[in-house]
């Protein structure tokens, strides 16, 4: 079985490369509203392309939606537990606006950490040489059988 090594939760929280866990994914600072969305094209350490096909990050909108709906649900429950649900109409949107860069970045990171290895397995893990050799042997055997 080929090794399917990838970075863990700590790398995800720190916005690091999904394969090596060392290279940065974003070039700008998260606290700067002009540069928080700047995404690098590839990992500076292991050269993994962060965009396997054009428009790959469109899927991040679904993750972003899920993160924001989750925030609304958790925020509503928390505020009602403390008997402050009347403030929810102001508090939750303000919290979402403040946390927007974090939601944006982590929805892109979810694309890289969850969707990328599932959809682009060869690009993510790299095609192993043993696998190619095995395929070559199998095709040679098939040719011998036919002859
Ligand atoms: Zn990397």
The one-digit pLDDT tens for each residue of the chain (147 residues) are 445 677 889 999 999 999 999 999 999 899 988 999 999 999 999 999 999 999 999 999 999 999 999 999 999 999 999 999 999 999 999 999 999 999 999 999 999 999 999 999 888 888 755 555 556 666 666 666 666
Task: Give the distance (Å) from ligand 1 centre to CA of residue 67.
Answer: 25
Task: Please report where in the chains the tokens 């892109």 appear, as a residue.
Answer: 108
The values of phi and psi at residue 7, to 5°, are -70, 160
Task: Give the distance (Å) from ligand 1 centre to CA of residue 117.
Answer: 13
Q: Is 7 within 8 Å of 13 (Cβ atoms)?
A: no
Task: Give the distance (Å) from ligand 1 centre to CA of residue 133.
Answer: 26
Residue 128: per-residue pLDDT:
58
The whole-angstrom distance between residue 45's C-alpha and the CA centroid of its chain comes to 17
Residue 108: per-residue pLDDT:
95
Task: Give the distance (Å) from ligand 1 centre to CA of residue 21.
Answer: 6
- The token pair at 44 is 């500076």
Residues with CB under 5 A from ligand 1 (ion): 17, 19-20, 23, 43, 45-46, 48
3-state helix, strand, coil in the chain (%, to 5): 60, 5, 35
- The token pair at 16 is 């690091």
Task: Give the distance (Å) from ligand 1 centre to CA of residue 16.
Answer: 8
With CA atoms as reference, report the closest residue to 17 among 55, 63, 50: 50
Q: Largest alpha-carbon pair distance within the chain?
A: 80
Task: Give the distance (Å) from ligand 1 centre to CA of residue 102.
Answer: 21
Residue 122: per-residue pLDDT:
86
Task: Give the distance (Å) from ligand 1 centre to CA of residue 125.
Answer: 11
């Amino acid at each position: 079985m080929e090794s399917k090594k990838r970075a863990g939760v700590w790398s995800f929280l720190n916005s690091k490369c999904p394969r090596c866990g060392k290279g940065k994914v974003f070039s700008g600072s998260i606290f700067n509203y002009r540069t928080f969305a700047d995404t690098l094209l590839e990992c500076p350490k292991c050269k993994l392309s962060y965009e396997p096909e054009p428009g790959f990050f469109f899927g991040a909108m679904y993750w972003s939606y899920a993160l924001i709906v989750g925030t609304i649900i958790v925020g509503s429950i928390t505020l009602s537990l403390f008997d402050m649900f009347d403030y929810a109409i102001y508090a939750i949107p303000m919290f979402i606006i403040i946390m927007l860069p974090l939601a944006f970045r982590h929805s892109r990171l979810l694309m890289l950490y969850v969707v990328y290895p599932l959809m682009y397995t060869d690009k993510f893990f790299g095609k192993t040489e043993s696998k190619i050799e095995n395929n070559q042997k199998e095709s040679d055997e098939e040719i011998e059988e036919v002859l």
